[in-house]
C-alpha cells in the first residue's frame, strides 16, 4: 500500500490550486438552508455537486424530498445520492456530508465577503461553509479525482449521501435513510462522516459521540402592529418584556439549566468514563484560543470537556421581531419570537425534554399575569449518538491519521449535532465514524469561518488513506 499512497499524496500535492478552485466555486453558492429566499441557491449547490460527481464518473441522482413541513409553499432541497464503483470484491463505504450552510452577512462582522473564498498569507481560506461542510465534502471528490489522475485503482466502492438541510435539523432525511437502508444503502459496510472538528489545532481526532439538538421557539404576541414607545409606552403591555423574563428563567450565567426534569435524565458519570478524559490532549489555553476570550465557565480541562460532550447545555440564540440594528429605534415590537436550543445527551428523551420545556415556559409566563399571548413549540429535534470506537472502521481511520499526520489520534465526543448519525447507525446496522478535517479555531457557524489549506490538503490525503486502510482491514 505504501507506494500507492505515496503517489496518491504526490497527486494531491500537485492539485492544490485545482482543489482550491473547486472549494472557491462551492463557497460562492450561498446555500443557506435556514433562509427561504436562498432555497434556489441551496438547489444550485446540489446541481453543482451533481455535475462534479458526474464528471468524475459517479452515477448520481438528485432525490426530491417533497415540501418543507410547516412551509408547504417551499420545496425541500434534494439529497444528492451517488455511487462510485460497483465491485463486490471490495468493501463499500457510505459517505455523508451536507452542502447547506449557516447564514452569513458581511455586516455580521466578517472581515471578508463570506461567499467569496479569501486566502490569507498563512493559507487560511475564509468563507461560509469552508470547514462546515463544503471543504470536507469536496475532500471526497478530490480523493476520487487524484486517484484517477495518478492512475491508482480505487480501493473501495463509495456510496454518497449529501443533504441540503442539515443546518436546519435535517428535515426529510430520516425518512429517506430508513427507506433506502435496504435499497440504495444496502451494500454499505460502514459509514463515514466528515463534518466536525479537531479538539485543538495540532492533533487530529476520531469522534464516536454527538449531542442531540432540540430547537425551540417562544412566541409572545400583543398589539397588532409595532408601536411608538413614546405614544404607547407605559400604557400597553410589551411582548418583549415578557419574553425576556421567560428566557432569563431558562439557564444561569454558568450554563446551569433551570428547567426542572432536564438534568434528572442525564446518566451518571462512571469511573471508566472519568479515566478517558485523562488521556486527551486538550488544554485550557487551546480552548481560550478557540473562544477568542477567557470567558470559559470552568478552569479545568476535564470539566470543560464534560460540559461540552456529556452534559446538556441550553443556548439562547436570538429574538425574531426585535429591533437589532445599530442606532436607537424607539419601537415597541408587537410580536417577538425567542429562539433557544438544548443540546441533549444520554439518556435524555426527546419527548420528555419537550414536555419539561413547555411546562416550564408556560408556568413562567403564567406567573407574569400578562395579557399577551404565548406559544411555545419545538422547531426541530434530533437525538444524541454515542457509538463504540472499537471497530475496523475506526482502526482504519486511526492508521490513516498516523500515516498522514504521524500521531495517534485522540478519541473524542463532540458537543455539536449531526442528527442523521444515529439514523444511519440504526437503519443500516453499520458502524458510524466521524473523521474531521478542520480544527477547533475554524469558526464554524461564526463570523470569519475558515479552513486552513493544510487541513484541506492533508485532510484530502487523510480521507483517501482511510479508504486504503479500510480495504486492508481484516474481515471479521
Residues annotated as part of the active site? 100, 166
132 is an annotated ligand-binding site residue: yes
Which residues are CB-neighbours of 63 under 8 A, at least 6 positions away? 78, 79, 80, 81, 176
Dihedral sign from CA coordinates of 438, 443, 444, 447: negative
Among the listed residues 41, 100, 132, 238, the single contact to Zn ion using CB under 5 A = 132
Length of the chain: 476
Neighbours of 34 (CB within 10 A): 14
| Cα 47 from Cα 134, distance rounded (Å) | 14
Nearest residue (CB) to ligand L7UNP4BN, 100 versus 145: 100
Q: Which residues lie near ligand L7UNP4BN (CB under 6 A)?
A: 132-133, 166-167, 169, 195-196, 213, 215, 382, 416-419, 444
CA distance 231 to 238: 13
Give the residue with the Cβ less far from Zn ion, 236 or 446. 446
Q: Verify binding: residue 195, Zn ion, rule CB under 5 A.
A: yes
Residue 442 interacting with Zn ion (CB under 5 A): no
Rounded-to-integer distance, Cα 240 and Cα 275, Å: 46
Q: Which does 312 bind (CB under 5 to 8 A by kind): ligand L7UNP4BN, Zn ion, none?
A: none
Q: Of ligand L7UNP4BN, Zn ion, none, which one sits near residue 213, judging by CB under 5 to 8 A according to partner kind?
A: ligand L7UNP4BN
Task: Report the residue number, 384 or 394, with the smaller CB distance to ligand L7UNP4BN.
Answer: 384
Our CB check for ligand L7UNP4BN shows the closer of 56 and 192 to be 192
195 is in an annotated binding site: yes
DSSP 364-407: HHHHTT-SSEEEEEEEE----EE--S-SHHHHHHHHHHHHHHSS
242 binds Zn ion (CB under 5 A): no
- What's the min distance (Å) between Cβ of 102 and Zn ion? 6
CA 183 to chain centre: 26
Interacting span for Zn ion (CB under 5 A) from 42-50, 71-79, 188-196, 224-232: 188-196
Exposure string over 397-415, b if 16+ CB within 10 A, otherwise e = bbbbbebbbeeebbbbbbb
133 among the known binding-site residues?
Answer: no
Is 330 part of any known ligand binding site? yes
Candidates 125-133, 175-183, 242-250, 275-283 — which segment interacts with Zn ion by CB under 5 A? 125-133
| CB-count burial class (<10 Å; 0-12, 13-18, 19+) for 429 | exposed
Q: What is the contact surface with Zn ion in residues (CB under 5 A)?
A: 132-133, 195
User: Which residues are annotated as part of the binding site for Mn(2+)?
Assistant: 98, 132, 167, 195, 445
User: Which residues are annotated as part of the binding site?
Assistant: 98, 132, 167, 195, 228, 330, 343, 417, 445
Amino acid at each position: 500500500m505504501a507506494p500507492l499512497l505515496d503517489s496518491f499524496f504526490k497527486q494531491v500535492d500537485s492539485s492544490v490550486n485545482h482543489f482550491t478552485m473547486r472549494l472557491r466555486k462551492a463557497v460562492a453558492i450561498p446555500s443557506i438552508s435556514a433562509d427561504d429566499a436562498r432555497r434556489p441557491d441551496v438547489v444550485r449547490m446540489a446541481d453543482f455537486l451533481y455535475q462534479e460527481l458526474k464528471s468524475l464518473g459517479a452515477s448520481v441522482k438528485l432525490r426530491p424530498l417533497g415540501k418543507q413541513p410547516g412551509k408547504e409553499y417551499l420545496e425541500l432541497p434534494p439529497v444528492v445520492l451517488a455511487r462510485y464503483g460497483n465491485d463486490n470484491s471490495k468493501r463499500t463505504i457510505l459517505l455523508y456530508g451536507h452542502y447547506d450552510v449557516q447564514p452569513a452577512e458581511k455586516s455580521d462582522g466578517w472581515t471578508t465577503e463570506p461567499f467569496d473564498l479569501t486566502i490569507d498569507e498563512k493559507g487560511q481560506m475564509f468563507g461560509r461553509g469552508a470547514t462546515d461542510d463544503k471543504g470536507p465534502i469536496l475532500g471526497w471528490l478530490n480523493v476520487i479525482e487524484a486517484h484517477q489522475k495518478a492512475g491508482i485503482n480505487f480501493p473501495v466502492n463509495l456510496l454518497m449521501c449529501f443533504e441540503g438541510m442539515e443546518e436546519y435539523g435535517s428535515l426529510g432525511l430520516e425518512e429517506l435513510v430508513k427507506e433506502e437502508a435496504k435499497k440504495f444503502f444496502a451494500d454499505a459496510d460502514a459509514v463515514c462522516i466528515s463534518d466536525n472538528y479537531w479538539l485543538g489545532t495540532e492533533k487530529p481526532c476520531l469522534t464516536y459521540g454527538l449531542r442531540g439538538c432540540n430547537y425551540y421557539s417562544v412566541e409572545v404576541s400583543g398589539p397588532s402592529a409595532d408601536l411608538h414607545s413614546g405614544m404607547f409606552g407605559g400604557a400597553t403591555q410589551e411582548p418583549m418584556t415578557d419574553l425576556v423574563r421567560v428566557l432569563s428563567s431558562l439557564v444561569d450565567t454558568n450554563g446551569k439549566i433551570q428547567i426542572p426534569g432536564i438534568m434528572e435524565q442525564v446518566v451518571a458519570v462512571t469511573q471508566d468514563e472519568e479515566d478517558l478524559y485523562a488521556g486527551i490532549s486538550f488544554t485550557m489555553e487551546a480552548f481560550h484560543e478557540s473562544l477568542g476570550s477567557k470567558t470559559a465557565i470552568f478552569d479545568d480541562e476535564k470539566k470543560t470537556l464534560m460540559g461540552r460532550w456529556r452534559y446538556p447545555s441550553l443556548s439562547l440564540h436570538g429574538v425574531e421581531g426585535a429591533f437589532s440594528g445599530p442606532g436607537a429605534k424607539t419601537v415597541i415590537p408587537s410580536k417577538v419570537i425567542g429562539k433557544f436550543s438544548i443540546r441533549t445527551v444520554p439518556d435524555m428523551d426527546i419527548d420528555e425534554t419537550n414536555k419539561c420545556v413547555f411546562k416550564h415556559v408556560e408556568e413562567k409566563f403564567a406567573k407574569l399575569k400578562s395579557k399577551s399571548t404565548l406559544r411555545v413549540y419545538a422547531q426541530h429535534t434530533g437525538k444524541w449518538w454515542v457509538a463504540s470506537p472499537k471497530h475496523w472502521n475506526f482502526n482504519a481511520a486511526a492508521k490513516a491519521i498516523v500515516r498522514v499526520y504521524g500521531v495517534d489520534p485522540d478519541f473524542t465526543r463532540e458537543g455539536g449535532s449531526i442528527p442523521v448519525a444515529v439514523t444511519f447507525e440504526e437503519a443500516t446496522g453499520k458502524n458510524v465514524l466521524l473523521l474531521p478535517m478542520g480544527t477547533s479555531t475554524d469558526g464554524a457557524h461564526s463570523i470569519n469561518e475558515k479552513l486552513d489549506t493544510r487541513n484541506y490538503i492533508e485532510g484530502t490525503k487523510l480521507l483517501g488513506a482511510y479508504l486504503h486502510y479500510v480495504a486492508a482491514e481484516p474481515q471479521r
